[in-house]
A and B are shown apart, each in its own frame.
Chain A
Amino acid sequence: MRASKGVRRWLWVGLLVAFMALAYVPPAVAQDGVPRTVTADDVNAIAQKLYCPVCENIPLDVCGTAACADWRDEIRQQLESGMTEQQIVDDFVRRFGDRVVGTPQDPALRALSLVTPYILIGVGLLLTLGVIWRLQHRKGNGAVPPSPDPADAGRSNSSYYEQLQKDLEGK
């Protein structure tokens, strides 16, 4: 009973390995020289994540310059040769720097770019809550007097109408 359990386990492992091997077959075949069909949409899917290295702030998939057409063609060739999206992006970053991607790949720059606004906003939120707390607990100033506003009224029509009229009359 114990032995059959062990055999079964190994069978499962074997199946898993075989499945994973199968999953890797297409790129391997591509790397072996059998060309993969790459559509313009495949190219654009990657190009739209990159920026034109020459004209700043224009995504590569829509830039009309001849240089960008060549770069898109290069992406096509890279895809045909079996490179993954990340490999292609890394290749562009290695050659042209972090400005060709929408967020830098370099870990330090990426952290600086993405975390800083959250830190600033977090500090701002704390300050705002502090201001609200201080304004609620300040001594010496009177609390806000009532004011005519339909939202201040109860939900009954008559009190609502009363407040509405006061509000419209600017009282």
Chain B
Amino acid sequence: MLAEIGLVATLLAFFTSIYSIGASIYGERISRKEATVLSGRNAAILTFVLLLVAMMGLMGALLNQDYQVKYVWSVSSPDMPLFFRITALWGSQAGSLLFWSFLMSAFSAVATIINWRSHRRLMPYAIAYMMAVVAFFIGLTLFIENPFSRWWILPNNPVDSQVVDAAFIPSDSVAPGAVELASSANGLNPLLRHFGMAIHPPMLYLGFVGFVIPFAFAMGALASGDLSTNWIKASRRWALVAWLFLSLGLILGGRWAYDVLGWGGYWGWDPVENAAFLPWLMGTAFLHSVMIQEKRGMLKTWNMFLVIGSFSAVIFGTFATRSGLVESVHAFARSGIGTPMFLFWFSLTFISVGLILWRRNRGELKDDHRFTSILSRETLFVLNNFIFVALFIAVFWGSFGAPILSELLMKTNITLGKDYFMRVTPPLFAALYILMGIAPVSAWGVSSARRLGKAMIVPLVLTLLSLIPFYLTGVHTGGALVAYGIVLMAGWVAIFETYRAVVVRVQMQSENPLLALWSLLRRNPRRYGGYMIHLGITVIGIGVIGSTLFQMETQKTLAVGESLTIGGYSLRYDQLLKGQIAEDGRMMDIAEVTVIRDGQELAHLRPRRDFFPQTQGLNTMTISGAYSTVENDFYVLLVDWEPINQDAATFKVYINPLINLIWWGSFILILGTVFAMWPKELLPSRVRESALAGALVGKGA
């Protein structure tokens, strides 16, 4: 029953989204009837409600263990705990596509409700674009990857084709027995049975789908001809919301990889990771560049390209991940959605770029001002944009461009891995950090080298001073010191600019320093939230340099009681707990080890390897044990391809210096983003003014 409800709701959502497109465009451009436009808007909101019902239907089927639903059968099993039964909603292609459609419809509905009055002229077009994307994804869900498809038995068919899956009941069919279905249910992919996977995919999806809003507003502006900064005002915060979730998704993905994938790192330059990184790069460029248009009325065409590029990268990444174009531990199984997704991506990009060029040729995207100084903030922002796009090109080329071209043109399959990315990207990241250090102290309009130099003196001195502890703790190579210096400089500029503003307010207004800081954050959240983001990126950068340049690793087979040493630590193998059975049916081999330094026992760790006997295909998982300090992580893996017993267990140990700064920096980055996107005032000024006027009238009366 739940599957039927879900199926019908999805079907209705498909129709309402298409109706919304038609009514919005017809009402706005042809009939010019407000009622028609309003019905288009309402249909967009109804689409969200229907997809919510559909999603609840699938969730209900998962919770009720309705294994006749093929999706439920393929991603869950009777021994799975409730938590993983819920996360199984996005555990495979069909469910995640429905979830994706639902999130996108939710974003669209909220953006429609919030912006309807303030951006009335843009809204019908924006709704049409949002619903076009939603309709496409619902179409994929309905016609190619239907999560409501059920198992049926056709007794009259030959034996090898008696079991079929179909969304509608086939004639002369019977439902399979519940017991047989439950006993053969596949269970969730072991790699997804981790707390991080409960949050990582939804965050990533929210980030991806969030970019549909700025995209739709940009397209709405191009289609309607309202090319003022209205579309930017309407979409900038949405872009920040999308960027926040995408950042969270990437960070949580890194943490998940670190905890579960068992290779001692958090970023492997895997094509699917990179597919999520590409829109982040483009979106970050947009968030910087958009300020120039808002403040200066410049780079109008470029901003259109960036916002469309961000969403195009989202769709391309989705296509690459879900079509089987690339193989990866993250990729979904090959499916039939590849061709339609590619066609959708291609036509979306083609139409968008065509619209930009059309408006540009009509002279409607002309800049209002010109640059006046090579060291002005707008010029530095353009260079910053160039670096982001250069990184985009380098990552795209390494992940997709070179492998696809070599296969197409030279019939050779190649992989560009860490080796390639570590050659090409570090100079670009260094340039980005340098700009991050300079741009905040450069002035809008006119700036000079002398003025800039003066503004940089204090951060520069602080940077040199803060390099001393690095030197004293063993960082003696010039390259590493320069790298740390560049990154630290960006952070000190952010801190110093905030500090100076606080000090001035304390002096001039006799404010408490904390109150002064709060006032700055509250009254210009974008600037000071932005500085906080820069600080977060600096802390992350220090962690990345430390854990990349100074990582140590060793692998050794030990008998119980034996030890290995690495980086001043010792690891002692204490005992093996073999064949432990967990609540969800997994079998665990747990090694108990002790971490020792200078003769002192620091921690007892339990690295383990898990085996999922019920699961077909990939059914093992390596869970690390880690002893974390500010200085480093002592990270132990129980190697899963060597024999394990009391006499011989093979351990792979990594010392990852400063790695925890990556997670702490991420926290600062997220906090800064929340500040940056927080509305200055919760109520629009118009509402506040009328409320104030009302209060005054009331008082007067």
Contact = CB atoms under 8 A, between A and B. Distances in A.
Interface of A: 39-41, 44, 49, 51, 55-59, 61-62, 64-66, 68-69, 97-104, 106, 108-109, 112-114, 116-118, 120-121, 124-125, 128, 131-132, 135-138, 141-147, 149-152, 155, 157, 160-161, 164, 167-169
Nearest to A140: B370
The number of chain B residues touching the other chain, given as a range, is: 35 or more
B570 interface: no
Given A56-B327, A116-B397, A131 B416 contact: no
B262 A62 contact: yes
Contact of A117 (B268, B368, B398): B398
A150 B497 contact: yes
B270 interface: yes
Contacts of A97: 412-414
Contacts of B417: 51, 57, 59, 101-103
B413 A131 contact: no
B671 interface: no
Nearest to A143: B372
Given A100-B415, A141-B367, A150 B455 contact: no
A113 B414 contact: yes
Contacts of A136: 370-372, 374
Most chain B Cβ neighbours within 10 Å, of A57, A62, A98: A57
B429 interface: no
A143 B369 contact: yes
B442 A151 contact: yes
Question: What are the 6 closest A-B residue pairs judged by CB atoms, nearest first?
Answer: A102-B419, A102-B417, A56-B327, A40-B555, A62-B263, A69-B641
Nearest to A96: B413
Interface stretch (B173-181, B335-343, B502-510): B502-510
B181 to A, nearest CB: 30
B500 interface: yes
A98 B556 contact: no
B382 interface: yes
Interface string B374-392: 1011110011011001100
B374 A132 contact: yes
Nearest to A123: B393
A44 B555 contact: yes
B296 A57 contact: no
B271 A124 contact: no
Contacts of B428: 121
Contact of B556 (A40, A135, A147): A40
Given A56-B327, A102-B415, A136-B374, 11 more contacts: A44-B553, A55-B327, A64-B640, A98-B412, A101-B419, A109-B410, A128-B386, A138-B367, A143-B369, A161-B504, A168-B519
B444 A152 contact: yes
Interface stretch (B520-528, B662-670, B690-698): B520-528
B419 A152 contact: no
A99 B641 contact: no
Most chain A Cβ neighbours within 10 Å, of B263, B416, B505: B416
A144 B379 CA distance: 12
Contacts of B394: 117, 121
Given A64-B641, A125-B386, A144-B378, A112 B415 contact: no
A152 B377 CA distance: 10
Given A51-B415, A56-B327, A128-B386, A145 B445 contact: yes
B441 A151 contact: yes
Given A40-B555, A68-B641, A117-B397, A141 B415 contact: no
B271 A164 contact: no
Interface in B416-449: 416-420, 423-424, 428, 440-446
A121 B268 CA distance: 23
A155 B416 contact: no
22 contacts: A44-B555, A61-B263, A62-B262, A68-B641, A69-B641, A99-B412, A101-B419, A106-B412, A108-B410, A114-B420, A114-B423, A124-B393, A142-B368, A143-B445, A145-B369, A147-B295, A150-B500, A151-B440, A151-B443, A157-B504, A167-B527, A168-B519
A73 B379 CA distance: 55
B327 A57 contact: yes
Nearest to B399: A57
A8 to B, nearest CB: 39
B184 interface: no
